[in-house]
A and B are shown apart, each in its own frame.
Chain A
């Protein structure tokens, strides 16, 4: 009997054993659904508020001293604004967020306006309140519009061409489309793919290492005629089908979420991932499965119990999450050095596959090879730990 046959025996026993474990199955299934479910939830909850057109709602303006400027108020109302009476203490009300802005028209306004001097009006606003910025911006542009209109009329009354006061004609071209805004949701996908990979095989690894020791079945197992590296290999490989199943479930769930769920109703456009991208993402992710298993194996080998192993390995998926979450909000251009960081490179490449961008094959090769090398080193460390006498005594 050779080493491969023994590894197969260990592998098939662990797979059979863990297929009967509800925790292993549940962990694989649940972790594949968390990502897609969370993203759909975000789309449903945030989608309408983030992506609904602000111009659909009337502009609410609280005005103090409206009677001082009937012309201005009429202009605002014609532009669709709804004029409300101002609260008692405008500054406090804005600071507390009770109203988004307050327009104060002082008593002297009418006199200044009539005499052709700059008539003062005050806008109370809070620039640190992001959610109010759109309203403030709309109100300000309306007021400037009124100011502009008045200026034009005054110039024309004096026989001067209004173009004199607009030396620059600024045209804004806004390239943001609902599509690029919605990609914020898609940008989370790479991280959840990795999340699934790290959780998918986790229970199998813990059960076959920390669990084996806690049950007291490790010592008798090691008396069987097989080298320590063969045990490590068999146990490590046993987690792979579970992680692969999780990865496939995750990708299918994302596909279903984006392609079958009426996402368009919520964010104004349909997200979609095509089958080809899914296959590419799947293949790109395979080296990370080996990496995750090796990392978990090391942790589960030095921890004292199943529970302790579970606690530590539970934190693992947070590590690749950090650059990944940053990536969701600040998309960066792929660079060579990023491919040298396992899981980070893959997140960038998954992102590119998703957007159907052209992916540099060198980057794919580099990130896969680097990840596999790191995984191999970790496996060697795990074998070393497994070869020490200490492995039997972690209980005491």
Chain B
């Protein structure tokens, strides 16, 4: 469970967030939709503890990201916008490094890696060094290492960015599966169709503020539109920066 309350964040003169609040409950897929530069990545970065808000707070399973960052880090698995791998290590070694940092070891760790390798269908690449991996293969490794400690909360920043159609499809299946396991899944996207297809709960961000939030039905009702994509455009006021 993720709770975000009145987040403000500036970088120099640029106000990236001006009071973002929402809740992402367990067992649901929450999508943050917004054009590029709306504040999606900044919100996620505050949630996964690498940025501190100027004002407001963010909590994961009740732990504050500023006061107890370690507790938050133990409970989240995150795929940041930048998810580079170690090119001289194999896929398995990349995953193992993160597992060990989370305190896993021995056969327990290896079993968890085996399970993720199976789930993400990466048997053919697990023992290859990651130099020269395709973007789909890279994302798989980055997701596997982020989830090796089986976190309750999963944060994904534009997880389908740069993926081909097949990889995007399997990514969506994987996100649904996490939700079915009862996890709290929060992902950001600027692709309207993706958010419509996946999300139980939608938070629309524009200009550093929450423009609307709720279930797809609630958003349709609030805007009086027939389909979600028209509703998004009417809320944000433009379809610039959206797909």
Q: Which A residues fall within an 8 A CB radius of B? A: 1, 6, 9-10, 13, 16-17, 20-21, 215-220, 222-227, 389, 392
Contact = CB atoms under 8 A, between A and B. Distances in A.
A39 B47 CA distance: 57
A217 B80 CA distance: 10
Interface string B83-106: 111111100010001101111000
Contacts of A1: 103
Contact of B145 (A17, A20, A220, A227): A220
Given A10-B101, A13-B97, A224-B102, 7 more contacts: A215-B85, A217-B86, A219-B50, A220-B142, A223-B76, A225-B70, A389-B51
A109 to B, nearest CB: 82
A223 B78 contact: yes
Task: Choose among A9, A220, A222, A389 the residue with the greatest number of B CB atoms under 10 Å from its CB.
Answer: A220
8 contacts: A9-B101, A13-B100, A20-B89, A215-B86, A216-B82, A217-B86, A225-B101, A225-B103
Contact of A216 (B48, B70, B76, B83): B83
Contact of A21 (B70, B81, B88): B88
Contacts, number: 73
A1 B51 CA distance: 25
Contact of A220 (B87, B102, B146): B146
Contacts of A21: 88
B5 to A, nearest CB: 20
A20 B131 CA distance: 12
Given A223-B80, A225-B102, A217 B85 contact: yes
B18 interface: no
Given A9-B97, A219-B50, A17 B88 contact: yes
B73 interface: yes
B73 A223 contact: yes
Contacts of A13: 86, 89, 97, 100
A389 B98 CA distance: 21
A223 B70 CA distance: 9
A226 B101 contact: yes
A193 to B, nearest CB: 30
Interface in B34-50: 45, 48-50
B140 to A, nearest CB: 14
B88 A223 contact: no
Task: Choose among B50, B93, B103 the residue with the greatest number of A CB atoms under 10 Å from its CB.
Answer: B50
A238 to B, nearest CB: 13
Task: Choose among A9, A17, A225 the residue with the greatest number of B CB atoms under 10 Å from its CB.
Answer: A225
B52 interface: yes
A17 to B, nearest CB: 5
Contact of A223 (B50, B81, B86, B93): B50
Contacts of A220: 78-80, 82-84, 142, 145-146
B45 to A, nearest CB: 8
A389 B101 contact: no
A9 B76 CA distance: 20
B128 interface: no
Closest 4 pairs between A and B when the two form their complex, measured CB to CB: A216-B84, A216-B82, A215-B84, A217-B84
A16 B97 CA distance: 11
Task: Choose among A1, A9, A17, A223 the residue with the greatest number of B CB atoms under 10 Å from its CB.
Answer: A223
A332 B78 CA distance: 59
